[in-house]
């Protein structure tokens, strides 16, 4: 038996929700390099990627349903779903505006639920699927001012585990990736303020922030046959942030 093709994604159809973002664009590039046909589902069109794009609001079930229907009609199947749409806002709990809480939970947690629900139905039908959700080190840690974000990411992790158990018998795996700080449009403003950058680097044993490309290997692993017997897990891509 040869393992040469263990990461091969040729003829696989992948949806990347949030695929126009800092991590999303690298993930799409990585999936395409391994042979997958990739569709970006985002509210913003991608800047410079030559791939299919369907304008999709992950918080809106009609929008998600119509995107999934369109991909299934065009490609006949959906093998991989990556959920990397997400937002954050850092505010102390006692001052957190209710609307802002709802917005963060809606995009990060409900959005993940809605895409998993609709794509999950297709994957169960075809008895094959790979779902990859984006948690964070905030799925595990209580950083101050991250209440809504941490609640959403803790929710994404536990949602991942429940869905993994429900879909295991259909050969659909569901896993979660948990990065530490990576410089993208999500974090760049915050990292520029005061000494935030140095403060955060000092919490990471590897002595640097993550780069968007650091998550690509984890996505390819979960998207491919290399992870065929791995479901309901969290893979931290955090330079050792949660190890000490």
Could you list the active site residues? Answer: 149
Q: How far is the CB of 43 from ligand NAD (least distance, A)?
A: 4
Q: Give the CB-side neighbour count of residue 195, counting CA atoms within 13 A.
A: 4
User: Are the C-beta atoms of 244 and 205 separated by less than 8 Å?
Assistant: yes
Full strand arrangement of the beta sheet holding 234-237: 52-55, 37-42, 13-17, 80-83, 129-134, 172-179, 234-237
CA distance 116 to 156: 11
Closest chain position to ligand NAD (CB): 21
Pick 126 or 242: Cβ nearer ligand NAD: 242
Q: Give the CB-side neighbour count of residue 170, counting CA atoms within 13 A.
A: 20
By three-state DSSP, how is residue 217 classified? helix
Pick 129 or 212: Cβ nearer ligand NAD: 212
Q: How far is the CB of 165 from ligand NAD (least distance, A)?
A: 22
Pick 9 or 58: Cβ nearer ligand NAD: 58
Q: How far is the CB of 127 from ligand NAD (least distance, A)?
A: 28
> Residues in the site for ligand NAD, rule: CB under 6 A?
17-18, 20-24, 42-44, 56-59, 84-87, 107, 111, 134, 136, 179, 181-182, 184-187
Pick 5 or 47: Cβ nearer ligand NAD: 47
Q: How far is the CB of 189 from ligand NAD (least distance, A)?
A: 11
The pair of structure tokens assigned to 79 is 């093998």
């Amino acid at each position: 038996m040869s393992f040469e093709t263990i990461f091969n994604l040729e003829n696989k159809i992948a949806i990347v929700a949030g695929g126009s973002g800092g991590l999303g664009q690298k993930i799409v590039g990585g999936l395409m390099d391994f042979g997958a046909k990739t569709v970006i589902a985002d509210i913003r069109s991608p800047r410079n990627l030559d791939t299919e794009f369907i304008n999709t609001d992950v918080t809106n079930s009609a929008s998600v349903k119509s995107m999934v229907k369109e991909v299934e009609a065009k490609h006949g199947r959906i093998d991989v779903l990556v959920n990397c749409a997400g937002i954050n806002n850092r505010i102390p709990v006692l001052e957190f505006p209710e609307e802002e809480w709802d917005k963060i939970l809606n995009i990060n947690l409900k959005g993940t639920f809605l895409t998993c629900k609709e794509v999950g139905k297709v994957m169960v039908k075809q008895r094959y699927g790979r779902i990859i959700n984006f948690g964070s080190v905030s799925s595990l840690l209580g950083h101050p001012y991250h209440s809504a974000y941490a609640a959403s990411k803790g929710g994404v992790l536990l949602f991942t585990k429940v869905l993994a158990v429900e879909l295991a018998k259909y050969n659909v795996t569901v896993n979660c990736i948990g990065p530490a700080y990576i410089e993208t449009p999500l974090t760049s403003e915050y990292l520029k303020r005061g000494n935030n950058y140095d403060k955060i680097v000092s919490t990471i044993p590897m002595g640097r922030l993550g780069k968007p490309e650091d998550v690509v290997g984890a996505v390819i692993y979960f998207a491919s046959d290399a992870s065929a017997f791995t479901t309901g897990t969290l893979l931290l891509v955090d330079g050792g942030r949660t190890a000490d």
